[in-house]
Structure 1
Amino acid sequence: MAWNYMLMLSVLCWLPFTLALPNRISARATGGPPIRSHSTSAIHTSFTGTPTVVGALNATSVGSGISSLGVAPGATTYPSDGKLHQPQPAPFVPGGGLGTNGTTPVYNAKSDFDYESLSLALYQEWIELDLFHDGLARFSEADFAAAGLTAEDRYLIQFMAEQELGHATMLSNILGAEAPAQCTYNYPYTTVPEFLDFCQKLTRFGEAGVYGFLPHLNSREAAILLTQSITTEARQQMVFRQFEGLFPMPVWFEVGVPQSWAWTLLAPHISYCPENQTRLAWQNFPALKILNQPNPARVNGERANNETLTASGGMNVLKSSNVTGSAACVNSTTVGESCHPGVTRNRTAPLSFPGRRVSLQWESPGQPVGPNNSYITATTAGTPKYVLWASQLNVTYSPLMGGGNNSGMTIQPNISTYQGDPAVNGTVFIAITDDNVFVTPFNISMVNPHIVAGPALYQAG
């Protein structure tokens, strides 16, 4: 179909048509540019065959690594005293800022970093579009009702799929003619609770993966549009937590993670992509499994042991088919135990806690993964020594005990972001590293050369 490849000022012209919905949410707007073609009835199988291309996308010249340069000159010279120190370009306008000099905005990629980051985001939007449709098609009305969800709840999932189509169209317009297309996917879930948990975790790393690269984009124009889409995805993640009977937002800050982390978690669930599909440059790390991942389908979720779906990779999606009767929190009506869908649920027995032993197991590098099994997991790290915990504003390390035969254990740390805010809460990213490198939210990707395996999603609350 014909659709706009170069997105400039025209994007701002059609936004009101899509946002100004009639009073009935089921009504459809008739104006605006076309959306990207897509499938709503795709097959979902694993890849079988031989890849024709292997490995991440590489440039002709590849450096040996990015060195730590310390604080940039002038980074600490602004006085921050509440006074104006620069000429004002116009009344009521302070000096400074990026993209504020009156030049006409052009909504495109302006570097390889931009293109590869936005392409990763598009891969994410495509799988979310397919995922939401698949759950609605795979499970019956009775299946959803057994999980406590109504027809209105199912329609909300359908509407979230429509949001993803808008996000995919927007990113495709920015990227141009070679924008990645929709692929064929595989999902491990067999029940509605497992579907909800998969969605909750997929949207979690989709959101966090964008936060990680958003401030680094050369294209500030693309950044504002991506911000407007990812804030919608953040709301989706919260909705799936509410559907799962979890506290909707148990942290003060949402974490941002590097592109390679998001790609490592996403790639195992992509089976086939079209021939000549745009490839990505990001790394695929060896998969990390949490052997005693807390299971929010249980009344006492902390007691879970090997209750994650084996095909879920680093997402560590819950297994609910063996959680029945009084052990299943969806069957409880007791406040503090019930995980029936709701605006908020506060569990009396926490899913995890400081001092909890966490058992881990990881793959060796060199495994085929991702579209057409054409990407290979890799690491440049040495001997595994630490477990990295990335949550909110913090990256914290705990000692890895054992570590032989690609397995070991650690103790969940007792740390706070600020007083009263436990840093390990919600869905936390963890990884095995060879060093406890100091990084902050703005340069967290500097830890990538030290990752042995991971990330994995740890369900802390």
Structure 2
Amino acid sequence: MAPTAAFRVAGLLALASSVRAVPVVSEPTTTFTSEPTNLPSPYAISHHNVTSHGPFTGPPATTTGALSTSVIASSIAPAPPPPQIVAYPADGKLHGDQPMPFTPSGGIGTNGSTPIYKVASDFDYQSLALALYHEWIELDLFHWGLATFSDEEFDAYGINAEDRFLLQHMADQEIGHASVLANMLGPQAPKQCTYNYPVSNVREYIDFNQKLTRWAEAGVYGFLPHLNSGPAAQMLLQSITVEARQQLIFRQFGGQFPMPEWHTPGIPQSWAWTLIAPYISSCPYNQTRMVWQNFPALYILNQPNPARINGSNVWNETTGGWANTLSTKGIPAKDLCVNATDKTLDCSAAISQNRSIPLSYPGRQVFLKWDAPGQLVGPNNSYVTTTNVAQPKFAAWLSQLNVTYSPLLNVSLEDRTAYTFQPNVSTWLGDPAINGTMFIALTDVDLPVTPYNVSMINPHVAALAVYQAG
């Protein structure tokens, strides 16, 4: 189906002509009859199973770098908040005429104008195109795992046939998500690509899934309130809430507590694009290009490994930078928590798992290494990692509602290494801020930012990674 310029919602009406309840005598029975509705459903976007996987091996790209026009400034200067928000008394009383009964004044898109489900600015287009890239890779990734690993390999980690059907169902959900986004973007919407996954077994596959769905989810939370098109934001919101459930499911498949954090973080678009791009091998000719920055990879040398009984006692057990996906290579079977007989230590797939040894904790020494800029990444190796930072000085821990900075110590610009200590900070009393699947960036300043303006940090980012705090 060719995407249309505006997304049209087809409403389905369930029309029951009669319902006759039969009195209970012995076996309760109820007879339902209804007339057929004959209402059409919209077609989902055309898609296919990607047959090629692996790193890009084609010729050098003729076009490299992010999409760009004239750049006004190197960064956006801070400005005061809107005066009407500061002036609003917030005293629980009504301060304006009601547009209709039981409706307060104010709000955006509440004046009765017909909603148009399409992008309304460059910001909207590039943000939704980024989200569509994520829907496409998830559609392929979920199918790829089912096709690549045997039932016996899944069973060994407690992921049975019904769980695998859930994985198939989550892949089907991505068809709907991609259809919504492609229709709102129009004919130039990004198409399916080929991909390269940093995994070699089921446990690594599940970990990569739970990390990818987290940054895809967090990436949308970061831009959703900034979209010019409220109707487009509404459609995307109703997809991303399912994405959040998928991330929870993958944590459960990995034997991790499903939602240790009280708030899910939002990240800038350039962070989400940085994290997904290395796993996209090639895309169709004339594919829509992204405006977002690609930051260099950050390697967590002692990244916590949820596959271990003692996940914090590790060294260099990832399959690479950016996602820092766990690796099980070389770990003795007795140290893998899936084999633990003590229920306080095991990590087989479950609705919930309480593990007695934390993955990470305040005061933990975290060892870091990062790439130099200038690496070719992304579709057809046509994007280039860049940074404005000459010397990183801080680790920015982005989790929940907080961005917390800790100083980098023993910095070596020659080796591009340093270490820091995990801060002891809480979002609320009893809620450790640094928890769950979260993010670390290296920066040259400790710029104060909040969830709504977190993208202001981008000009100061030297490298980026996912951190498995819990």
- TM-score interval w.r.t. the shorter chain? over 0.9
1:86 equivalent among 96, 99, 120: 96
Where does residue 73 of structure 2 map in the other structure? 63
Matched residue, 1:442? 452
Checking the alignment, whether the CA contact within 8 Å between 2:120 and 2:229 is kept in structure 1 is yes
Structure-to-structure mapping, 1:165-180, within 5 angstroms: 165-180=175-190
The residue number in structure 1 matching 2:29 is none
Percent sequence identity is 56
Q: Aligned partners of 1:3 and 1:279: how far apart in 2?
A: 19
Residue 323 of structure 1 corresponds to which residue in structure 2? 331
Answer yes or no: is 1:275 the counterpart of 2:285.
Answer: yes
SS at match of 1:295: coil
Superposed, which structure 2 residues align to 1:229-308 within 5 Å? 229-308=239-318
Structure 1 residue 16: Cα displacement:
8.7
- Offset at 1:322? 2.5
Q: Deviations over 1:387-406 (max 9, x none)?
A: 00000000000000122121
SS of match in other structure, 2:452: coil
Any runs of at least 4 consecutive aligned residues in structure 1 with deviations exceeding 3 A, and if so which? 14-17, 60-64
Distance in 1 (CA, whole Å) between partners of 2:121 and 2:3 is: 20
Contact 1:297 1:323 in 2 (8 A): no
Q: Sort the Cα spacing of 1:63 and 1:306 in 2 relative to 1 into closer, same or farther, 3 A.
A: same
Partner of 2:405: 397
CA distance, structure 2, for counterparts of residue 323 and residue 358 of structure 1: 21
**Separation of aligned partners in 1, 2:103 and 2:96:** 11
What does 1:416-455 correspond to in 2, within 5 Å?
416-454=426-464
Cα distance change on mapping 1:121 and 1:336 into 2, 3 Å: same
- Counterparts of 1:353-432 in structure 2, within 5 Å, are 353-404=361-412, 405-432=415-442
Residues 108 and 174 of structure 1 are in contact (CA less than 8 Å); yes or no, is this contact kept in structure 2?
A: yes
Q: 3-state DSSP class of the match of 1:428?
A: strand
TM-score normalised per structure 2: 0.92
Partner of 2:32: none
How far apart, CA to CA, are the structure 1 residues paired with 2:12 and 2:312?
48
Q: Which residue of 2 aligns with 1:43?
A: 52
- RMSD between superposed Cα atoms in Å: 1.6
Structure 2 residue matching 1:76: 3-state secondary structure: helix
Structure 1 residues 452 and 193: CA distance shift in structure 2, 3 A: same
Deviation at 1:150, TM superposition (A): 0.5
SS, match of residue 214 in structure 1: helix
What does residue 469 of structure 2 align with?
A: 460
Aligned to 1:183: 193
1-structure distance, mates of 2:219, 2:342: 36
Residue pair 1:3, 1:35 contacting (<8 A) in 2 also: no
- 1:324-372: CA deviation from partner (whole Å, max 9, x where unpaired): 4221111113222010100000110000111111000000111111000
1:119-198 paired onto structure 2 within 5 Å: 119-198=129-208
Residues of 2 paired with 1:392 and 1:71: CA distance?
23
Out of 66-75 and 296-305, give the one that drifted further: 66-75
2:42 matched to which residue of 1?
Answer: 33
User: What are the Cα deviations for residues 58-79 of structure 1, in whole angstroms up to 9, with x where unaligned?
Assistant: 1145433211112232221111
2: distance between equivalents of 1:7 and 1:191? Answer: 42
Counterpart in 1 of 2:11?
Answer: 13
Q: How many residues align?
A: 445
Contact 1:433 1:452 in 2 (8 A): yes
Determine the structure 2 residue equivalent to 1:347. 355
Q: Distance in 1 between matches of 2:332 and 2:211?
A: 23
Contact residue 2 and residue 187 of structure 2 kept, 8 A = no
Contact 1:243 1:341 in 2 (8 A): yes
With normalisation by structure 1, the TM-score equals 0.94
Instruction: Note if contact 2:143-2:171 (Cα within 8 Å) is conserved in structure 1.
Output: yes
Structure 2 distance, partners of 1:41, 1:182, is: 8
2 CA distance for matches of 1:314 and 1:92? 49
* Aligned AA (1:255): P
Tell me the amino acid that sits aligned with residue 260 of structure 2.
P
Larger of the two Rg values belongs to structure: 2
**Cα distance in 1, alignment partners of residues 14 and 328 from structure 2:** 42
Separation of aligned partners in 2, 1:7 and 1:40: 27
Note if contact 1:286-1:453 (Cα within 8 Å) is conserved in structure 2.
yes
Q: Does 1:99 align with 2:109?
A: yes
Question: In structure 1, what is the Cα distance between the partners aligned to 2:255 and 2:219?
Answer: 24
Consecutive unaligned residues of structure 1, counting only runs of 5 or more, are 18-28
| 8 A Cα contact 1:185 1:272, kept in partner | yes
Partner of 1:24 in structure 2?
none
Provide closer, same or farther for how the CA distance between residues 316 and 14 of structure 1 changes in structure 2, counting only shifts above 3 A.
Answer: farther
Q: 1:122: how far off?
A: 0.2
| CA deviation after TM superposition for structure 1 residue 300, in Å | 0.6
Question: 8 Å contact 1:391–1:424 — kept in the other structure?
Answer: yes
* CA offset digits 1:275-325 (Å, max 9, x no partner): 000000000011111000011001111111111113xx3100001232342
| Contact 1:241 1:248 (C-alpha < 8 Å) held by counterparts | yes
Counterpart residue identity of residue 389, structure 2: A
Q: Find the counterpart in structure 2 of residue 22 from structure 1.
A: none
Instruction: Specify whether residues 408 and 61 from structure 1 end up closer, same or farther in structure 2 by C-alpha distance, changes over 3 A only.
Output: closer
Structure 2 gaps of 5+ residues are 16-37
Paired AA for residue 321 in structure 1: K
Q: Matches of 1:276 and 1:443 in 2, distance apart? A: 32
14 and 63 in structure 1: CA distance in 2 versus 1, 3 angstrom threshold = farther
Change (3 A) 1:118 1:41: closer
Partner of 2:346: 338
